[in-house]
Amino acid sequence: MLYLMIMCRALLAAVFAVAIAGKVRGRSAYGEYVSSIVVLKILPRTVSTMAAHALVAAEAASVVLLALPWTVPLGFAVAVGTLAALTGGILVALRRGRQAPCRCFGASVTPLGRPHVIRNLVLAASGGTGLAAWAAAGAAVAHPAGVALALVAAAVGALLVVRLDDLLELFTA
């Protein structure tokens, strides 16, 4: 269970770190991200802008909390909560027929859709799985080879998540 927890922890931290980097890589990138939230019209404009800032802060908190050994359970909880909020927002926008590009990782122009909902649900399930694995692992001692394998699995998973729009375009075109 220890290695499963490490894999889930690294996966979520990497995905959120890349998401933050894509959004804050420049003033225009951040503006495009905030605009993509506002244009969905889920909330009034000023509240949408505040929500966009809050989501970036929640992503950053998830990365920090998952990185620190004594805050791992809270990190999983914040990550799952953040993913739940993102998924709920996408579902509301889809129900209202609103579309905006997914600026989840920066510059994508792919409109938000079902694949993004599924991606977020899979990531949220990873958070829940990681939390359960953390509880089951207890005081287990990690072997370096197991940690390395867990980190490689997390890196592959993060790469698939981050490049999901490109992969879908490649295989559904």
Query: What's the whole-model pTM score?
Result: 0.92
Count up the domains in the chain and report the number.
Answer: 1
Question: In the prediction, which pLDDT does 173 show?
Answer: 65
Residues of the chain scoring pLDDT < 70: 106-107, 173
Question: In the prediction, which pLDDT does 79 show?
Answer: 98
Give the range of the structural domain holding residue 76, as residue numbers without chain letter.
2-172
Question: In the prediction, which pLDDT does 29 show?
Answer: 85
Which H, E and C letters describe 40-55, residue by residue? CCCCCHHHHHHHHHHH
| pLDDT tens track for 54-99 | 999 999 999 999 999 999 999 999 999 999 999 999 999 999 988 8
Pairwise CA distance, residues 58 & 81, whole Å: 9
